[in-house]
Amino acid sequence: MGVVIDTGLAAPAAANDDAAREKAAAAPRVERTASRALPRLLMAPAVATLLLWMLVPLVMTIYFSFIRYNLMQPEAIGFIGLGNYEFFVTDPSFATAIMNTLLLIGSVIAITVVGGVALALLIDEPFPGRGIVRVLLISPFFVMPTVNALLWKHMMMNPIYGVLADLWRFFGAEPVDFMTDWPLGSVIVMVAWQWLPFATLIFMTALQSMNREELEAARMDGAHYLQQLRYLVLPHLGRSIAVVIMIEMIFLMSVFAEIFTTTGGGPGDASTNVAFLIFKQALLNFDAGVASAGALFAVLLANIAAVFLIRLIGKNLD
């Protein structure tokens, strides 16, 4: 299902290529007229399947959202207008879920970008064992979300047997019951742990193309470390920060398994995000109508995020 957005992301990046290619296209190309259809033919499967993937569920969702549709009673169908929307929006869980979604996305992006830049700077220059460090650091990125979640929930965060509980006791503190007391915080930790390596590696790659002579010159001129960071390193990283935010946003909007396997959205709605709320309506309450109304709100939310993203990325790729 889709998000309607303006173009802009690719524009500045491709501007140079564009000019070159348009020049090339202006040169006579005899064989091109005959094979105009070929490019379209090559693109057709991808465009067609994605169009179906977007439109079919969207149309069905819009239809379901206006009818009474319980998966357990498929025969009791009837038009109920905006009833499902009303139910979903007036559900007190709705506001909480939106807040939690924003908190989750915001915190994870903040942690991974700041932590990722710091880590990338730390391992930018050679030191003994850098290769191994790189391999160890990237590992959490390849761990599937369900393993990640259970590993943290049980072996790290269990209030009695968990490693963290032992650490708390070591410092003479009362161990925390993470899943009950800090449910959303715990989910944020798990997701951030997964995405920090990704951000670090992207920033590391970007740092490698940094102009060392420029840095050296700045150092000669007496710029201290923070100044170098502020005026040389961070501007250089701008583009990769934009890329990290874009990719993480795409994946973080639909965080699900970490919540499903640990807190189940609870206690109450304390760790329910929009994705999980819709899931609860659909497969736990079997109310496909309300879930569909909720799904359309998710589409709206995705639209808002997309517009925001395009602004951000468009500016940064200039």
- Tell which one of 77, 110, 114, 147 touches other proteins (CB under 8 A): 147
Q: Considering beta carbons, is residue 87 or 141 the nearer one to other proteins? A: 141
Residue 78 main-chain phi, psi, to 5 deg: -165, 155
- Tell which one of 26, 34, 144, 226 touches other proteins (CB under 8 A): 144
Tell me if 285 contacts other proteins by CB under 8 A. no
Residues 98-127 that bind other proteins (CB under 8 A): 119, 122-123, 125, 127
x/- mask, other proteins, residues 209-228, rule CB under 8 A, reads x-------------------
Q: Which stretch binds other proteins (CB under 8 A): 80-88, 92-100, 146-154, 227-235?
A: 146-154
**DSSP letter at 192?**
H
Instruction: State the minimum distance, in angstroms, from the CB of residue 134 to other proteins.
Output: 7
Instruction: State the minimum distance, in angstroms, from the CB of residue 29 to other proteins.
Output: 9
Which tokens sit at 184? 């959303």
* CA 70 – CA 64 distance, rounded (Å): 10
Q: What number of chain residues touch other proteins (CB under 8 A)? A: 114
CA 40 to chain centre: 31
Instruction: State the minimum distance, in angstroms, from the CB of residue 271 to other proteins.
Output: 15
The reply to whether omega before 235 is within 30° of 0 (cis) is: no
* CA 238 – CA 53 distance, rounded (Å): 33
- Tell which one of 80, 103, 151, 218 touches other proteins (CB under 8 A): 151
CB atoms within 10 A of CB 133: 14
- Tell which one of 98, 103, 243, 312 touches other proteins (CB under 8 A): 243
Dihedral of CA atoms 160, 192, 265, 305 in degrees, nearest 10, equals 170
Partners of residue 287 on adjacent β-strands: 70
243 Cβ contact partners less than 8 Å away, ≥ 6 residues apart: 202, 313
- Tell which one of 240, 245, 265, 271 touches other proteins (CB under 8 A): 240
Residues 179-208 that bind other proteins (CB under 8 A): 193, 196-198, 201-202, 205-206
